[in-house]
Structure 1
Amino acid sequence: MPTRILPAVGDVDAVRSLTTLLSQLPDAEPVAPVVDSTQLVDTLARLAAESVDELPEVVVVHERIGPVPALELIREVALRFPAVGVILVTTDASPGLFQAAMDYGARGLVSMPLGYEELASRVQAVAQWSVGVRRHLGHSGDVFTGAGGTVVTVSGAKGGVGATLTAVQLALAAQASGRSAVLVDMDLQSGDVASYLDVQFRRSVVDLAAITDISPRVLADAVFRHDTGLALLLAPGEGERGEEVSDRAARQIVSALRSRYEIVVVDCGAQLGGAGAAAVEMADTALLVTTPDVVAVRGAKRTVRMWDRLQIRKAEETTVVVNRHTRGTEIQPPLIQRITGTAVAGTTVPANFKELQGAVDAGRVHELDSKGAVRQALWALAGELGLVKAAEGAQKGGRARGDRGSVSLFRRRDGGG
């Protein structure tokens, strides 16, 4: 069986010399090269969506590929497509770079100028490894076949606005609709997901922080399977251990989860740390939950501005969710949209604490009454965000309109829009 090899090279001269050598290798089947990191990931995702068998056994990454640095690109490929072997082509064959490449997930390194014997030896070894991995994973059914899951982060404008409840219900809605979903508690010092769902656990996100190669088996060991079928990756029971999860570790963990689940919902809490910031930056959708009161909306405005200053996320790329909404409040969603400069979700969540109190106190928020207004609104929000399958996710709700009196009131208190 021929070995399919996908070169990822941006330099024209390097492409020519590499493809010429690859075409001379025995039983090699070079495919059309890709010229940058985006095209490589998109190509692999498209092939994986058809079938794992369509993926090349070997990907050869040139050190100057760009725009994503070669090592970071290798990590992403290794995490999202674990049965594809990656070889790094580089002018630096030092032991330090070799070790770094292995840590990031490469299966081999070839130095430039390219030589036939070295390239042939590496390609053969990596191809054999890839075939072996596919054979092993194929029997266990534990191989990624999708193009990469959707990541949604849920942050609070301040504490107590309902971010955790929102995150839990979005993940439950996705799972109930037939999608594979995981809920991550990235509120590392004070996460409450375990309490909301009444679970006892031993492992947490901290157990993955120091692992440089998160295999599907390692990930499965850290994830808790809830009675609802929802996968949970929980915050540590000892809040001080949250400091062990760096922004780099968070990126790797979220990438690993994205490669295994269709929907990844991350509860980031209300306090910004490095891990939460990394998750928000990576997210396909970043939600910011607020209540329609001056203090919370001011907090939302500060958070949006901080994310922008730190280049984590632009205001227009953030969606505010209004919780505990009533028609009578002076601060309505259109006003919040103007103040924060963000999008505002069309679905608002009504104020109905009596509906929640019993379930929250019992740690059974997964058992909220399906006919309750809060639960229906949050599941409608999941539909609006595209987290549930179409048949389950009819979009509901809508925005109430603010008035000039509301604008004037808020400007007096906040010193301007």
Structure 2
Amino acid sequence: MTTRILPAVGDPDAARSLSTLLSQLPDAEPALPVSDSTALLDTLARLAGESLDELPEVVLVHERIGPVPALELMREVGLRFPGVGVVLITADPSPGLFSAAMDAGARGLIGLPLGYEELTARVSTAAAWAVGVRKHLSSSADVFTGPGGTVVTVTGSKGGVGTTLTTVQLALAARASGKSVAILDLDLQSGDVASYLDVQFRRSIVDLAGISDISPRVLQDAVFAHPTGIGILLAPAEGERGEEVTDRVARQAVSALRNRYEVVVVDCGTQMSGANAAAVEMADQALLIVTPDVVSVRAAKRMVRLWDRLQIRKAEETVTVVNRYTRNTEIQPPLVERITGTRVATAAIPSNFKELQTAVDAGRLQDLESRSTVKQALWGLAGELGLVKTPEGKDGKNKAGKRGTATASLEKDDRGSIGLKRRRGGDSGSVTIEFAGMAPVILAIVAILWQAVLYGYSYSLAGNAADEGARAGAVAGVRGAVSQTECEDHAKKRLPDSWQKSFTADCGTEPGGAIYTAKVDVDVPLFFPGFNAGWHVTGEAGAAQEG
């Protein structure tokens, strides 16, 4: 049987020496060495994604591998890829180190300088163990895609961009779909998860700092069981104690939570420390929250470059989420994607703090209304990330039918929280019924407005007719005509035919003879000219008497 071997050696000289020796082993197929822990985990994840058979039987880890320490790296490989035998190469094969390596999941230890016989024996033993494990696990290839749950980290490009809000709502969305969920607050100096979910608990992640092996009982004592069903491992109440949480503590906490919960959402805040950097490196998905402004986008670009320099995470493996998005902003998601070099999430979070203010001020973000556009967008983001699940029916088929979306099941539990299509036939015909009920009211309002227009138009006609009649009557004496007749004729000519039928005019000279007045009465039509309801309007005017 051919044994596939993947060396992980950071030093080029040591890598060449090891590759030369491995090429001499019988039935061995050594791969090219990987230079750091990130490359090792990425390579194993890629191979596991293709097929279980593509994974190497043996991984050789040099003690000077970085940036993750060798023992922590072996623990991570053992948790995520349990069918791979890990062997540690060290210059100090002491009993203490041997015991620590076994606790980390190593299947053997090789001392430096390397010897052919010892290397052959350790590789053969680890390969035999790996083959035996795979026989027992071959029926479930999913075992090798990662243990337990999915880890998602949420990091802010700068302060105040909505990191904790996103963390909490993603966790609530996953919990609403029926998954077991935990929140880990790694914003060690200013964590606000407790404030957002109305939590008062004396334990935090600092209580795990002095524990070398986190057992389920220890984890249970440190995690707060929230009424929503979410487990919360809080940041320390005293910010200065955040220094006690090292990258080792963070790795142990994330691994322990991942083994117990289906979804682990980590709030990494905005400041990079060893602890949250370790969480970002271990995460299945890393979110970077930005707002559509120049300062935030520049900060996001700096963060992405920092992760790349420290070999924490590559830009293309990061998902950027645009918060407080509006269509009118100059910085749109495609521009953010181009500047940062990351993938921008399809779901953009709208800018609407008024919806959030009541829930945030009360410290009960779980009570945010389902019709909130911000909540709908964040729960839609959870569906896009695959953090929610669709329940299975008795026949094993998706209850959501042909839609098959991961978030479809949430519509039943929290209607309106996710912007997806509603259940087919559920609201069919509702618009027609609502319109039929409102139609009489709409028609009545239109009729009243139209009648008001006719009333005003009739009043305007009466006024114009009176003005014309008064002027004609005032100058009638100069032309030798009868003032009354001239006044009535000219006033009537100013009216449309439909208004002339109800026309009456009263013309004459005021006492003293200086002003000639005209008073015109017309009927107001009922909806249409020619249909009168007995309503009248009067227009009056006067002109100086001439002649």
TM-score, normalised relative to structure 2: 0.53
- Where does structure 2 lack aligned partners over 5 or more consecutive residues? 8-17, 34-39, 127-142, 391-404, 409-417, 421-547
Give secondary structure in 1 for the equivalent of 2:350: coil
Per-residue deviation at 1:86? 9.3
Residues 1:276 and 2:276 are matched in the alignment: yes
Summarize deviations over 1:236-288 as a string: whole Å, max 9, x none: 01111100111222122212222222211110111111111111122221111
Give secondary structure in 2 for the equivalent of 1:334: helix
Per-residue deviation at 1:381? 0.4
Equivalent position of 2:407 in the other structure? 393
- Where does structure 1 lack aligned partners over 5 or more consecutive residues? 1-5, 20-32, 50-58, 124-143, 398-417
Equivalent position of 1:199 in the other structure? 199
Per-residue deviation at 1:64? 6.6
When the two chains are superposed, the root-mean-square deviation of aligned CA atoms in Å is 4.2
8 Å Cα contact 2:63-2:90 kept in structure 1:
no
**Structure 2 counterparts to residues 26-175 of structure 1, below 5 A:** 71-76=71-76, 93-101=93-101, 104=104, 147-148=146-147, 149-175=149-175
Per-residue deviation at 1:38? 6.6
**Structure 2 counterparts to residues 213-252 of structure 1, below 5 A:** 213-252=213-252
Equivalent position of 1:338 in the other structure? 338
* Separation (CA, whole Å) in 1 of partners of 2:222 and 2:188: 15
* Separation (CA, whole Å) in 1 of partners of 2:260 and 2:144: 9
Per-residue deviation at 1:93? 4.4
**Structure 2 counterparts to residues 337-416 of structure 1, below 5 A:** 337-390=337-390, 393-394=407-408, 396=419
Alignment length (residue pairs)? 347
* Separation (CA, whole Å) in 2 of partners of 1:320 and 1:348: 10
Per-residue deviation at 1:367? 0.9
* Separation (CA, whole Å) in 1 of partners of 2:292 and 2:41: 40
Equivalent position of 2:513 in the other structure? none
Q: 1:264 to 1:8 in 2, by over 3 A?
A: farther
Per-residue deviation at 1:102? 5.2
Give secondary structure in 1 for the equivalent of 2:214: coil
* Separation (CA, whole Å) in 1 of partners of 2:90 and 2:360: 55
Summarize deviations over 1:357-379 as a string: whole Å, max 9, x none: 01001110011101111111100
Question: What amino acid sits opposite 1:228 in the alignment?
Answer: T
* Separation (CA, whole Å) in 1 of partners of 2:261 and 2:382: 16
Residues 1:306 and 2:306 are matched in the alignment: yes
Give secondary structure in 2 for the equivalent of 1:330: coil
**Structure 2 counterparts to residues 256-271 of structure 1, below 5 A:** 256-271=256-271
* Separation (CA, whole Å) in 2 of partners of 1:371 and 1:180: 24
* Separation (CA, whole Å) in 2 of partners of 1:175 and 1:325: 26
8 Å Cα contact 2:63-2:88 kept in structure 1:
no
Q: Identity over aligned residues, as a percent?
A: 64
8 Å Cα contact 2:186-2:269 kept in structure 1:
yes
Question: What amino acid sits opposite 2:104 in the alignment?
Answer: Y
Question: What amino acid sits opposite 1:165 in the alignment?
Answer: L
8 Å Cα contact 1:9-1:61 kept in structure 2:
yes
Question: What amino acid sits opposite 1:294 in the alignment?
Answer: V
* Separation (CA, whole Å) in 2 of partners of 1:302 and 1:91: 38
* Separation (CA, whole Å) in 2 of partners of 1:202 and 1:313: 33
* Separation (CA, whole Å) in 2 of partners of 1:292 and 1:217: 44
Per-residue deviation at 1:215? 1.9
8 Å Cα contact 2:79-2:146 kept in structure 1:
no
Q: Which runs of 4+ in 1 moved over 4 A?
A: 6-14, 16-19, 33-42, 59-70, 77-82, 84-93, 105-114, 144-147, 394-397
Q: 1:219 to 1:34 in 2, by over 3 A?
A: farther
Q: 1:221 to 1:334 in 2, by over 3 A?
A: same
Give secondary structure in 1 for the equivalent of 2:382: helix
Per-residue deviation at 1:289? 0.8
Q: 1:153 to 1:38 in 2, by over 3 A?
A: closer
8 Å Cα contact 1:105-1:213 kept in structure 2:
no
Give secondary structure in 2 for the equivalent of 1:166: helix
Give secondary structure in 1 for the equivalent of 2:389: coil
8 Å Cα contact 2:41-2:77 kept in structure 1:
no
Summarize deviations over 1:101-128 as a string: whole Å, max 9, x none: 25536699799967xxxx9xx99xxxxx
Question: What amino acid sits opposite 1:243 in the alignment?
Answer: E
Q: 1:70 to 1:195 in 2, by over 3 A?
A: closer
Question: What amino acid sits opposite 1:219 in the alignment?
Answer: L
Structure with bigger RCO (C-alpha 8 Å, 6+ apart) = 1
Most deviating of 259-268 and 105-114? 105-114
8 Å Cα contact 1:81-1:259 kept in structure 2:
no
Give secondary structure in 2 for the equivalent of 1:152: strand
Q: 1:227 to 1:85 in 2, by over 3 A?
A: farther
